[in-house]
């Protein structure tokens, strides 16, 4: 009971701040809000901030005031426009994950606990934080020269906030309890699956809390990018990386959002915009592994003109089927071949077969023609994908979370590209990458590779066939002779286990189970 009281206290603080900003709930969510929640919300006083700005802007401000757990929840909600609405999702995508830094003494204490005094001494003087977010902050350090290195080298050291794991655990536990109560309020509340949302958020946060996993993501993307001409990923220094500390090479670069500085340095902004779009699509289609947090604060340009990406806490993956779906969909829209796009949806099984290809193609034409009828500089790939996902719901296509994440990231990437070059043509930049993927993955050479792989698999199966036939013959013989003979140890184990087995035909276990359920509801 004390645990429930503590959860209610934490949730009541959230309710007061949301009400202060006039978003308990936002007006757009009222039709989806269970009547008991709407009734209780009427008794929470609204603050002065309730009348300033759009609902999404006020919700973003409320989440920022509530702190790290709510900021992460808001960023996660931004990936679900199908649930919260496109307008609020757009506003929440602007939610800034910035907090005041924690002290240098706390940072050094964490480094000493994680790395040991010897490695801490090698890090030298720890400077002020260069960036601070809800989960971690980043410092620049310069290693003293060692026997392996004749010159000093600099590292970016990312350190988890003190007690951040416990703070998130308390809030996520309160969220999970609230989600369970909400689902009891009716079928509409259950349809929105609040418990599944909290579970997914908790898994995402758990991954971000272990910086070794972020290091692995950074290293995987670095390997994938080794031969890319236009993108660079900092190398991980595994010697100074642990669960709560991540060390990568320090990058001296100009922020991609600093247009004036880039021009003064002689960089070609049109080329940078094209390189950014192509690098993002290359990772998504070629590798099936993309950076899903490519906001301007995570993008830099080094002296050679390469784009450098940092912060790998949020990544997206596309399996081969989703990659094929994306490439063929984009290629079909580029060719304005709406029947082709419709066929891909049905072939992959995203749209059920009871829908006619012609009807779906007609709906796709209603999306594509208004976009492709604009000047090239105004055609948005992210907008097209967003409208595509809205229309596919009418044709019973289930939501694909990774595709939504891709689309939301594309919104940000397009925005950065247009800041660099207002006349940038997203589709013309994307065309070579899409066509290259189509040739490599479903062209004649790819079909020959698939065929040779299939023949090799068939050869292995044929080679194993005699042994499989022998095993089948032995089993058939044993059955004819009175049954399969068990090893004595196996027979003894089965005999010993049988008396201990639960016999569910007896009413006793069911009575016990029912009593436990009733007790659980009584406690709640």
Q: Render pLDDT for 421-432 as a digit per residue (tens, 0 to 9).
A: 998 888 889 999
Any idea which of 155-159, 259-263, 418-422, 514-518 has the lowest mean pLDDT? Answer: 514-518
For residues 419 and 410, give the distance between their C-alpha atoms in angstroms, rounded to a whole number.
14
**2 has a pLDDT exceeding 80:** no
Identify which of 306, 298, 309, 295 has the alpha carbon closest to the alpha carbon of residue 221: 309
**202 has a pLDDT exceeding 80:** yes
Buried-state track 33-71, b at ≥16 Cβ within 10 A, e below 16 = bbeebeeebeeeebeebbeeeebbbbbbbbbbebbbbbb
Q: What is the DSSP letter of 31?
A: G
- Give the CB-side neighbour count of residue 114, counting CA atoms within 13 A: 24
Looking at residue 513, what is its pLDDT?
Answer: 38
Looking at residue 170, what is its pLDDT?
Answer: 92
CB atoms within 10 A of CB 231: 22
Higher pLDDT, 241 or 462: 241
**523 has a pLDDT exceeding 90:** no
For residues 486 and 66, give the distance between their C-alpha atoms in angstroms, rounded to a whole number.
63
Q: Taking residues 356-377, report their average pLDDT.
A: 86
Looking at residue 521, what is its pLDDT?
Answer: 38
**460 has a pLDDT exceeding 80:** no
Looking at residue 197, what is its pLDDT?
Answer: 82
Higher pLDDT, 42 or 244: 244
List phi, psi (to 5°) of 157: -110, 115
Active-site position among 171, 219, 293, 421 = 293
CB atoms within 10 A of CB 518: 10
Q: Is residue 440 flagged as an active site residue? A: no
User: pLDDT grade, residue 520 (50/70/90)?
Assistant: very low
Higher pLDDT, 198 or 27: 198
Place of tokens 């991540």: 246
Buried-state track 115-150, b at ≥16 Cβ within 10 A, e below 16 = beeebbeebeebeebebbbbbbbbbebebeeeeeee
Any idea which of 73-87, 96-110, 235-249, 456-470 has the lowest mean pLDDT? Answer: 456-470
**461 has a pLDDT exceeding 70:** no
Any idea which of 24-33, 224-233, 383-392, 458-467 has the lowest mean pLDDT? Answer: 458-467
Q: What ranges in 373-400 are assigned the alpha helix state H?
A: 381-394
Q: At what angle do helices 269-282 and 426-442 cross, to 10 degrees?
A: 30
Tokens of 88: 């609020």
Any idea which of 5-9, 80-84, 283-287, 349-353 has the lowest mean pLDDT? Answer: 80-84
List phi, psi (to 5°) of 277: -60, -45
Share of the chain above pLDDT 70, in %: 77
User: pLDDT grade, residue 514 (50/70/90)?
Assistant: very low
User: pLDDT grade, residue 283 (50/70/90)?
Assistant: very high
**121 has a pLDDT exceeding 80:** yes
For residues 359 and 339, give the distance between their C-alpha atoms in angstroms, rounded to a whole number.
9
pTM of the model: 0.74
Identify which of 63, 278, 58, 79 has the alpha carbon closest to the alpha carbon of residue 175: 63
Looking at residue 201, what is its pLDDT?
Answer: 85
């Amino acid at each position: 009971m004390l645990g429930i009281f503590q959860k209610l206290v934490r949730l009541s603080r959230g309710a007061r701040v949301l009400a202060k900003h006039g978003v308990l709930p936002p007006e757009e969510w009222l039709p989806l809000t269970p009547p008991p929640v709407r009734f209780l919300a009427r008794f929470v006083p609204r603050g002065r901030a309730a009348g300033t700005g759009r609902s999404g802007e006020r919700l973003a401000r409320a989440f920022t005031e509530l702190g790290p757990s709510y900021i992460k929840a808001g960023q996660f909600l931004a990936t679900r426009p199908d649930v919260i609405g496109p307008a609020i999702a757009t506003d929440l995508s602007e939610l800034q994950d910035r907090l005041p830094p924690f002290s240098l003494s706390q940072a050094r204490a964490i480094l000493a606990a994680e790395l040991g005094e010897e490695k801490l001494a090698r890090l030298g003087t720890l400077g002020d934080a260069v960036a601070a977010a809800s989960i971690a902050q980043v410092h620049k350090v310069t290693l003293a020269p060692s026997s392996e290195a004749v010159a000093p080298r600099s590292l970016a050291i990312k350190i988890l906030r003190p007690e951040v794991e416990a703070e998130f655990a308390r809030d996520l536990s309160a969220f999970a309890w609230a989600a369970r109560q909400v689902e009891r309020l009716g079928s509409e509340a259950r349809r929105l699956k609040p418990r599944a949302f909290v579970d997914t958020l908790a898994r995402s946060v758990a991954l971000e809390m272990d910086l070794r996993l972020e290091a692995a993501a950074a290293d995987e993307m670095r390997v994938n990018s080794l031969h890319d001409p236009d993108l660079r990923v900092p190398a991980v220094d595994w010697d100074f990386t642990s669960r709560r500390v991540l060390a990568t090479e320090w990058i001296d670069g100009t922020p991609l959002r600093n247009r004036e500085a880039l021009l003064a340095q002689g960089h070609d902004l049109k080329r940078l915009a094209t390189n950014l779009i192509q690098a993002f699509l290359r990772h998504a289609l070629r590798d099936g592994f993309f950076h899903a947090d490519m906001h301007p604060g995570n993008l830099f340009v080094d002296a050679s003109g390469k784009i450098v990406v940092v912060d790998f806490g949020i990544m997206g993956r596309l399996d081969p089927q989703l990659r094929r779906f994306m490439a063929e969909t984009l290629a079909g829209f580029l060719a304005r071949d709406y029947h082709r796009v419709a066929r891909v949806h049905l072939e992959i099984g995203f749209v059920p077969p009871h829908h006619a290809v012609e009807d779906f193609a007609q709906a796709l034409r209603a999306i594509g023609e208004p976009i492709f009828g604009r000047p090239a500089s105004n055609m948005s790939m992210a907008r097209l994908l967003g409208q595509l996902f809205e229309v596919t719901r009418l044709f019973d296509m289930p939501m694909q979370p990774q595709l939504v994440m891709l689309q939301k990231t594309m919104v940000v990437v397009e925005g950065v590209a247009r800041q660099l070059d207002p006349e940038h043509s997203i589709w013309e930049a994307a065309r070579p990458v899409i066509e290259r993927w189509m040739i490599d993955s479903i062209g004649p050479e790819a079909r020959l590779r698939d065929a040779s792989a299939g023949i090799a698999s068939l050869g292995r199966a044929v080679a194993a066939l005699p042994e499989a036939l022998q095993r089948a013959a032995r089993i058939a013989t044993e059955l004819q002779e009175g049954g399969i003979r068990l090893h004595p140890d196996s027979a003894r184990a089965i005999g010993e286990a049988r008396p201990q087995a639960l016999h569910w035909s007896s009413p006793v276990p069911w009575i016990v189970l029912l009593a436990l359920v009733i007790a659980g509801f009584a406690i709640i």
